[in-house]
A = this chain, B = another copy of it.
Amino acid sequence: MTETLFNKRLQVHVKCKDCEERRGNIRVSIELQLTTNPVHKRDLLVRLTDDTDPYFLYNLAISEEDFQSLKVQQGLLVDFASFPQKFIDLLNQCISEQDKENPRFLLQLSPSSPILDHSPAHLNVVETNAFKHLTHLSLKLLHGTDVEIKKYLAVCLSCVKEEKQQLEQRLKKTEDDLSRQLSYTQQ
């Protein structure tokens, strides 16, 4: 069972070693995946995609054990259960600041090498105050494999086809309804 906790398009500052910093938009999705077989297990899935680039896909799965290392490594003070909401709060803070010229909170994506390389990337939530840049959270995501991208695109395709079908039905219904009203009024 998978529960979607967050799925929004956000402005991101792409910063790689050998290229100039640029702004782009990526979609961040956070899902909680519950497995009960063979053992009870909770995983937090973080996914970055780009609505305009079908091949852009970064994934991170955080298990409860992974989270313990992340917690120690980054000095986090929350537990696994409350981490997703804290992460979402940070992302929403970035959204609320993203139209400002000098946002206090921003989302940074730092691929280890140029983005075409399919190497891992760090997603950082960075606060900038008068004194310094403070990294609130830094997650290392892996670029999707061909198989993962293939599966992701198949799901996208099926969703867009479904939306298209609903639009076709709505268009037909709108045409019928309004033509009926029109002919009724003209009588």
7 A-B pairs, CB-CB below 8 angstroms? A54-B153, A55-B150, A157-B157, A160-B160, A160-B161, A170-B171, A178-B179
Is A186 close to B, CB under 8 A? yes
Docked CA distance A179–B185 (Å): 12
Task: Give every chain B residue within 8 A of A157 (Cβ-Cβ).
Answer: 54, 153, 156-157, 160
**A145 CA to B150 CA, complexed, in Å:** 10
| Cross-chain contact of A154 among B147, B153, B174 (Cβ < 8 A) | B153
In angstroms, Cα B144 to Cα A146, docked, is: 12
Beta-carbon contacts of A144-184 to B below 8 Å, as 1s and 0s? 01110110011011101101100110110011001101100
12 other A-B residue contacts (CB within 8 Å) besides A160-B160, A163-B164, A178-B182: A54-B153, A54-B158, A146-B146, A149-B150, A153-B153, A167-B167, A167-B171, A171-B171, A174-B174, A175-B178, A178-B178, A185-B185
**In the complex, the 3 A-B pairs of residues with the closest C-beta atoms, listed nearest first:** A178-B178, A153-B153, A54-B154
Give, as a whole number of angstroms, the nearest-CB distance from A35 to chain B: 24
- Chain B residues within 8 Å of A171, by CB: 167, 170-171, 174
Closest to A154 in B: B54
A167: contacting residue among B168, B178, B179, CB under 8 A: B168
Interface residues of A in 121-159 (CB under 8 A from B): 145-147, 149-150, 153-154, 156-158
**Chain B contacts for A154, CB-based, 8 A:** 54-55, 153
Residue on B nearest A158 in the bound complex, by CB? B54
Is the CB–CB distance between A174 and B178 below 8 Å?
yes
CA distance A50 to B30 in the complex (A): 31
